[in-house]
Amino acid sequence: MGLLGAFAWLEAAYPNVYYRSVQEDQALEWASFYSFFVAGGVFAIAASRQRRTSGALPWFLVGLSLFCVFVAMEEISWGQRVFGHRPPDYFLAENFQQELNLHNMASADVRMNAFRGIILGYGVLLPLFALIPFLRRFFDRIALVPPPIELTPSMFAMFWLHFWYPWKFTAEVVECALGFGFLFVAIANATRFSEGRGRSSLVRSVGLIALVAVLTFTTAWWSQNRQSGDPANLELAKIESEALGDDLETLGEAKGKLVITKCGIHKRVYTLVQKKDYARPLPDMSFVDLAERGLPEARAEFFLDPWNSPYWIRDRCDKKTGRRVVFVYSFGPNRMRDSSRWEIRGDDIGHYVVREPNP
């Protein structure tokens, strides 16, 4: 609950800080990864204890352990973005984020309904059903271990917030909160089968949260400060982003416009080509022609930068002030978004197509 409240305040009071904090490879995403991953380990311990104390087959807790590890690895695309590996062509073409994971292969409606179903079914309804005596006995008989009822209000708050979706990137905040929710459930389940030999649930919770916090901020710092092993990639990214910018300017001039995109667009270039008819000519223009000068064809086909991350385009305008900015950009060597809504920042490498009024 505290995490949800903190980000609600941050979004209202400091929207730019909020925007940065919910981007990939920031502390929030790493907290999601580590909370789910550690929860997977604790569920495995709980399963072992359940087997030892009751003799039952701990299928449910083992399943939860595997589920949490799977979610954690999906969160970081199985290490693909972290280490800059190029995903197989199938994922580049079919995954809307051009990443090596499965959950982004499904439609937005399927993902949202599945996510809400997990929160509501496991986090809210299951512990409520366990309050009914005959159902509790049935759950014990089949070795199904429900979450503690004390966590139900927090789980319901996550469900309600995700359903209401009051601000952009609500899903990222709720996902992180759910990771900690699963961690608390895992600790409670492990304590339940500890036969009184373990330390209190509170002490375990504090210790594991401290571990997750240290790992989160250490990894986030590393993500923000990592550099490319090949300085030549910086020059390549400059050349390629300028070529993309020139292509967009050319298409705009052909239509008698400043640029072909519309205000509010913020997409991967490959996605733009696939979704918008006006961007279809891009694969036949100067960026792809760079393949004749050494640009790998796979990068050219899917509009990837030298670090195998997608090139992006942003078109943002303010009707009140008349300000408009359009730029294409790469995440740069740290493979994370440093740019703001209006400017290319950090180690991001890009090219401005439109800047009105000029600074």
More confident residue, 106 or 132: 132
pLDDT one-digit tens code per residue, 230-243: 678 899 999 999 99
3-state secondary structure 22-87: CCCCCHHHHHHHHHHHHHHHHHHHHHHHHHHHHCCCCHHHHHHHHHHHHHHHHHCHHHHHHHCCCC
Average confidence (pLDDT) over 31-56: 96
pLDDT one-digit tens code per residue, 277-296: 889 999 888 888 887 777 88
Residue 358 has pLDDT above 70, yes or no: no
pTM of the model: 0.83
Task: Locate the domains of the chain by residue range.
Answer: 2-225, 232-356
| SS3 of residue 318 by DSSP | strand
Q: CB count, 10 Å around CB of 129?
A: 13
Of 92-106, 114-128, 164-178, the range with the highest mean pLDDT is 114-128
Q: Which of 39-43, 97-101, 215-219, 267-271 has the lowest mean pLDDT?
A: 97-101
Distance, CA of 65 to CA of 239 (rounded, Å)? 46
DSSP 8-state class, residue 307:
T
Tell me how far apart the terminal alpha carbons of the chain are, to the nearest angstrom.
43
pLDDT one-digit tens code per residue, 165-179: 888 889 999 999 999
Distance, CA of 342 to CA of 213 (rounded, Å)? 31
